[in-house]
Chains A and B, each alone.
Chain A
Amino acid sequence: DVKVTQSSRYLVKRTGEKVFLECVQDMDHENMFWYRQDPGLGLRLIYFSYDVKMKEKGDIPEGYSVSREKKERFSLILESASTNQTSMYLCASRPERANTEAFFGQGTRLTVV
């Protein structure tokens, strides 16, 4: 069974903290993605990576950074958490071919207080 695993289901952090969200996939996929999901706004792409050490900004990268040191792992970093970053964060991976579906993790619900 293919798997994308996010390190936490629920997180509560304080304003100003540095927050790390980890994602691991076991499918040898080239592409990995971080999305943010908010009611009425669907999935918005924060960052994606198409290879190790390669990253591209998505639609809403401000306040976030990413790291991909190994093919299977893609980390999202909130440099200084703010309350407007309270959201559901979804990691996904996909093979290089665009006609294939993305596989999603279970999501991390982050609350910043």
Chain B
Amino acid sequence: AQSVTQLGSHVSVSEGALVLLRCNYSSSVPPYLFWYVQYPNQGLQLLLKYTTGATLVKGINGFEAEFKKSETSFHLTKPSAHMSDAAEYFCAVSHTGGFKTIFGAGTRLFVKA
């Protein structure tokens, strides 16, 4: 069975500071990993994904994430936070042959001026 754990339900950073949102997964088969962002009263949209190949993946809005198999992690980072980054972020996992995508509980990012 697959599962996703996001460490920290709330993260607060100052504008211009590093953003680090943590995600650990559990999977008995090679995973596909995703980060989604949700702005208030909207659905989720894809930030980035890892399927195969390069373990450092870049996404929209300056975000990137690194797949570390040995640590079963897929942490999301952005070098410099912007006020517009304030949103909820979800890590998710799926695998070949699987119908479902499993989501973490989400991390709400606050950005202080």
Contact = CB atoms under 8 A, between A and B. Distances in A.
B99 A31 contact: yes
B46 A40 contact: no
Interface residues of B, number: 27
Contacts of B104: 42
Contact of A50 (B6, B41, B90, B99): B99
Contacts of A92: 43-44, 101
A113 interface: no
Contacts of B43: 4, 90, 92, 104-107
A42 B90 contact: yes
Nearest to B52: A99
Contacts of B51: 99
A101 interface: yes
Given A31-B99, A105-B43, A41 B32 contact: no
Provide the main secondary structure of the chain B interface: loop
Give the most central of B36, B43, B90: most A CB within 10 Å: B43
Contacts of A109: 41
B105 A42 contact: yes
Nearest to B93: A98
Interface string B93-105: 0111111110111
Nearest to A41: B105
A61 interface: no
Contacts of A50: 99
B9 to A, nearest CB: 6
Contacts of B44: 43, 90, 92, 102, 104
B49 interface: yes
A94 interface: yes
Interface string B57-85: 00000000000000000000000000000
Given A106-B42, A107-B43, 14 more contacts: A42-B104, A43-B44, A43-B103, A43-B106, A98-B94, A98-B98, A99-B32, A99-B52, A102-B44, A104-B43, A104-B44, A106-B41, A106-B43, A109-B41
Interface of B: 6, 9, 32, 34, 36, 41-46, 49, 51-52, 90, 94-101, 103-106
